[in-house]
Amino acid sequence: MCIFALMKVSGGMKVLFGAVSVFVLAALAVAGLMIRQRTVARISHIDIDQEHYPVRGLDISAHNGTPDFDSIAAAGIDFVYLKASEGMTFRDPAFMRNYLAARRAGLAVGAYHFFRFDCDAAMQSSNFLAAIVGCDFQLPPVIDIEEWGNPTGYDSRNIARRLELMIDAVRARRGTVMLYTNKKGLARYLGTMGGDMPELWICSFTDPPVEQSWRLWQHSHSGKVSGVRGDVDLNTFNGSRDEWLLWLDNFRPAADSTADSTAE
């Protein structure tokens, strides 16, 4: 009787030990995966060869506080993209203040719209165009298309079709447009556009950033620049300084008839 009981206890201990071992191994696997994901998530910067890419730029929104654009220009920054709008109704509250200050500092300035997957393309176009009316830019208007910050569950083909509608609307009003995205967005939403695809502003942390042709490259989410508190996105132009000036001349967007003159 006592031997039988001991055997039962011993068997139970083996089962318990096995269960604990499985639990520990599973916990270690999950912990390892979380560490790997966090490590990957931290890879948001790559140093670039500034002799090869001499033109430097930033993209800024209200999230960056109140930048000192004179200090930014003095730090050797050539251009800045400012968030103007998002979706059908949102306007960046710092846009006009940033636009006027950046123009006064002598920076080349452009504006971008964050494209929402759950919003009508025509209404997004109207919001963006109304947000930038009266502004005289040196850079093409940009549509930012990416999964981050957008709801899930929307068909990629439908998103691409709505994006094309907005591209047409912005082109019709401003003469040109450029697209910002990352590698995932490039594959999912822009791959079917063919030869009529606008120029590309790519977010990538590899060198080269992508195999496809690109015009601007966002190579850091954690840059440090005098005049901006905290981290700021860093960008560069694909070409020499002479090529940059030529591009500005060739791709200068059309200004509205109500173009602002106070920043001249």
CATH of the domain at 70: 3.20.20.80
Residue 191 has what pLDDT? 82
* 127 occurs within a structural domain: yes
Total residues found in the chain within this entry: 264
Residue 256 has what pLDDT? 59
Q: Are 111 and 82 in contact (CB under 8 A)?
A: yes
Residue 17 has pLDDT above 60, yes or no: no
State whether 97 and 162 are in the same domain.
yes
Q: Domain range holding 32?
A: 1-42
State whether 24 and 99 are in the same domain.
no
* 51 occurs within a structural domain: no
Specify the pairing of strand 232-237 against strand 216-223. antiparallel
Share of the chain above pLDDT 70, in %: 78
Q: State residue 39 phi and psi, 5-degree precision.
A: -65, -45
Reported as a single tens digit per residue, the pLDDT across 198-227 is 999 999 999 999 999 999 999 999 999 999
State whether 83 and 207 are in the same domain.
yes
Residue 74 DSSP symbol: H
Query: Is the bond into 208 cis (omega within 30 degrees of 0)?
Result: yes
Q: Are 107 and 75 in contact (CB under 8 A)?
A: no
Q: Give me the number of domains the chain comprises.
A: 2
State whether 8 and 118 are in the same domain.
no
Q: Are 56 and 77 in contact (CB under 8 A)?
A: yes
Specify the pairing of strand 142-144 against strand 199-203. unpaired
Residue 262 has what pLDDT? 40
Q: State residue 141 phi and psi, 5-degree precision.
A: -65, 150
